[in-house]
Amino acid sequence: MNSLNFNIDFGYLEGLVRGFKSGIVKQADYLNLMQCETLDDLKLHLQSTDYGNFLSNEPSPLQVSIIDDKIREKLVIEFEHMRTQSVVPLSTFLDYITYGYMIDNIVLLITGTLHQHTISELIPKCHPLGSFEQMEALSIASTLLELYNAVLVDTPLAPYFIDCISEQDIDELNIEIIRNTLYRAYLEDFYKFCQTLGSTTADYMSEVLAFEADRRAITITINSFGTELTKDDRATLFPRCGKLFPEGHSALVRADDYEHVRAVAEFYSEYRILFEESGNNPTEKTLEDKFFEHEVMLMKKAFLEQFHFGIFYAYVKLKEQENRNIVWIAECVAQRHQTRIDGYIPIF
């Protein structure tokens, strides 16, 4: 796959995704959206963006959840179209993007059944990009081994699951560990796959996935303070494809509080800035938001180069961010919470 014959197989889709990208809601639109007083205003304004009439068949009054569903539906339609049009290796690459959502869905379903929710009320909450056939049968499993043997062995996630198979019953802490172990294996595998693609895709994706890995490592460390998770266990959850690996990881394992983590991040210029600019005061942005901002910045970079797969990944991520933004604004509008309405993360 090089610049010379990239367009033979992937030119159409690259053009398509660039077209989709230009439909991403702009800062000017956000400014307009923020002035809305009701969700109907929001709907009226979204009509002038690329979303068009996507809400026109919904009876008033609107709910935020409907907006959320419809936005997601639009992304899924676009993604499914690209997936059906693609050939190897792009199709594999696109599948890899969905694995992340599959992991989230699995975890969501396990947690849900643990809390005695029926499967039918959980299914609508799953991300449609990560749905798979056996998903609805997840509730039959009570131990991890069963889960693997019965349900997951047929899914592409099976190899990631090997690490967390045990006869243990499933409980809260377990689930978080499963999620992170799965995610670690997923990221490392995705990273490896991107390396095999070579050229720009590998360059770009390694940067993006490295960031994703580091973000997870830092978040895991911060969230593990005050839980039963031992430091050794913590170390096993860090995805080993980021810039923090290996020195940063060993430092993070030793960390006992937020300040330690911040001290570790001091050594990495891009993360240092994020820590410096974040804070817990209402006026300041949280670390999570700063991470999102950094992610958006990285994703936008994908479109500066041609002939690579990174833009598909970037597009999905940007759309997701846009989804979060619109839902955030919609929530603020619905709850008349005007003061926090500018808490979204502008994209373009």
d(CA 210, CA 241): 6
- Of 57, 116, 269, 339, which one interacts with other proteins (CB under 8 A)? 57
158 binds other proteins, rule: CB under 8 A: no
CB of 44 to other proteins, least distance (A): 5
Secondary structure (3-state) at 230 = coil
Q: At what angle do helices 27-34 and 39-46 cross, to 10 degrees?
A: 150
Indicate which single residue of 8, 44, 87, 273 sits in contact with other proteins (rule: CB under 8 A).
Answer: 44
Residue 273 neighbours by CB under 8 Å, 6+ apart:
none
Residue 114 to residue 91: CA distance in whole angstroms: 34
In the shown chain, the binding pattern of residues 114 to 133 toward other proteins, with x for contact by CB under 8 A and - for none, equals -----x-------------x
Asked if 154 interacts with other proteins (CB under 8 A), we say yes
Asked if 162 touches other proteins (CB under 8 A), the answer is: no
How many residues touch other proteins under the rule CB under 8 A: the total is 30
Contact between 25 and other proteins per CB under 8 A: no
Instruction: Tell me 137's DSSP state.
Output: G
For residue 135, give the DSSP letter: G
CB-CB contact of 347 with 25 (8 Å): yes
Collapsed DSSP state (helix, strand, coil) of residue 278: strand
Among 23, 26, 32, 143, binds other proteins (CB under 8 A): 32
Fill in the DSSP letter of residue 169: B
From the CB of 338, what's the least distance to other proteins, in Å? 16
Q: Is 108 in the site for other proteins (CB under 8 A)?
A: no
Contact positions vs other proteins (CB under 8 A): 32, 35-37, 40-41, 44-45, 47-48, 56-60, 119, 133-134, 136-141, 146, 149-151, 153-154
